[in-house]
Amino acid sequence: MKKISFLIALLFPLTLIAAPKFPFPHNAKYPYGIKPASIDNGKIQKAYDDFIKEFYEENGDKARIRFDDPNLTVSEGIGYGMLITVYMDNATNNTQGKFDKLWRYYNSYLNNNGLMHWRISGFGGVSGQNAATDAEMDVAMALVQAYKQWGDEKYLNDAKSLIDKIYQFEVNSNGYLKPGDSWDDKKNPSYFSTAALESFKRVNSRDWAKVISTSYSLLQKCANASTGLVPDWCSESGAPQGDFYYDAIRTPWRIAWDYVWFGRSEAKSFCSKIASWINTKTGGNPAAIIDGYTLDGGNKGNSLVSTFLGAFACAGMVDASYQTWLNNAYSKQEEMVSKSENYFSSSLKMIYLLLLSGNMPDLWADNIPQKFKLNISIQPSNA
C-alpha cells in the first residue's frame, strides 16, 4: 500500500491550493459611505460569467483580456481583469489561476523599465510602445489585495517591485502621476487611483502621501467650478484639455473607492459635487444619463452606457443624502447586466458592480471576515 501511495505521488504530484480567504460574495459594509438598499449578487455573477466568456482568453500559461478589436489587448484591460478575478474568487469561480495567467501575460511584454507595453497584438508582438500608468495602478492594487486573498508572499513581493517601478518611472519630480513612463506633457485625472496610492503606503516607503496630495490638488484645479466635472486630460497647472468623456468618466469611481475605504474628505467633496450635479441634470432619473458632457454640463454624448451610469452611481456612495439616487442608479446598472456592451463598458460595469455592492472591500482591513480552508487537488505531472 505504501508503494502504491508513493507511486501515485510520483505520477500525480499534489498541488496545495489555498482557497480564497475572502470568497465572493463579500457583502461587506464599507467603513465609510453608503451602499444600495437592494443588491442581487446573482446579477454580479452573471456579469462576471458574461465578461469571462466574451473577453477572457487563455493561451498556455498566459491569459489576456480582448480589446474592442479582439485581436488586441491593452495593459489597462489586464489591470481590470486582475481586479475582477481577485474579488470574484470562490469554490465555483476558481479565479486564482486566471489571475496568475493575466499577471504572467503582463510580465511577458515588459519594456526596459520593467513595465508592460500598453498595447499587444493578441499573444504576439508589441503594437503600442511603453507603459500606461492606469494599468500599473490597477495591476499593483490587484497584487496587494491578492496577497491577502490567497496568502502567497509572491504576490506581495511582486507588488512591492511593481509599486517601486511606478514611483521610479511614472511619478515626476514634482510628485505628480505621469500618464506613462515615457512621456509627461499632460495629465489624465482618471489615472489618479488614490485608493491604490494609499494602499501602496502599506508595502512601499516612497512618498505616496505627496502623490495623493498632488492628485487631489490637480483634481480641484481642473474641475469645473459649477458641475465638478473634470476633463479627459489637463496640464499640470490644471488647464483642461477635453470634455468629461470616456477617460474622465472613470474618475468618480476611483475617487469614490478612496472614500468608502479610507474616508478621505477630499474624496467626499469631489464626488458630492458630481453626484449633486448629475442628480439635478437628470431630474433624479439615472436612465437620462448620456455618454459624455462638456465641463459646464452641456450634452456631448447620445446614449446610456454602463461606463457612465456606474460612475455616476459610485459618486453617490459618499453621503446618505444620495441614497435614493444610488438605489435607482444601481437598480438601472443591474438592468444593464443583460445588455451586451464593448470591452470598456463591460469591464467597468463589472468593476462598478463590485464596488457599489460591497464586493470590493479592502482585504487588509481588520473588519473583513475571513473564510479559509485548504483544498488539495491532484494534477497530472507534465513530466
- Residues with a known catalytic role: 76, 134
Q: Give which of 133, 80, 68 is closest to 253, Cα–Cα.
A: 80
Give the residue carrying C-alpha cell 473564510. Answer: 371
Dump the DSSP string for 283-315.
Answer: TT-GGG--S-B-TTS-B---S--HHHHHHHHHH
Which residues are 72's β-sheet partners? Answer: 121
CA distances from 181 to 21, 173, 184, 191, 195 (A): 35, 13, 8, 13, 21
CA distance 51 to 232: 26
Give the residue carrying C-alpha cell 444619463. Answer: 289
Q: Where are the alpha helices (DSSP H) in 185-236?
A: 194-200, 208-222
- Is residue 331 within 8 Å of 37, Cβ to Cβ? no
CA distance 242 to 248: 9
Question: Which backbone phi and psi does 59 adopt, to 5 degrees?
Answer: -150, 100
Which residues are 18's β-sheet partners? Answer: 374
CA distance 219 to 276: 17
CA distance 36 to 25: 15
- What are 218's three cell numbers? 490637480
Q: Which sign, positive or negative, has the C-alpha torsion 196, 201, 203, 205?
A: positive
CA distance 222 to 179: 16
CA distance 78 to 105: 8
- Give the number of other CB atoms < 10 A from CB of residue 262: 18
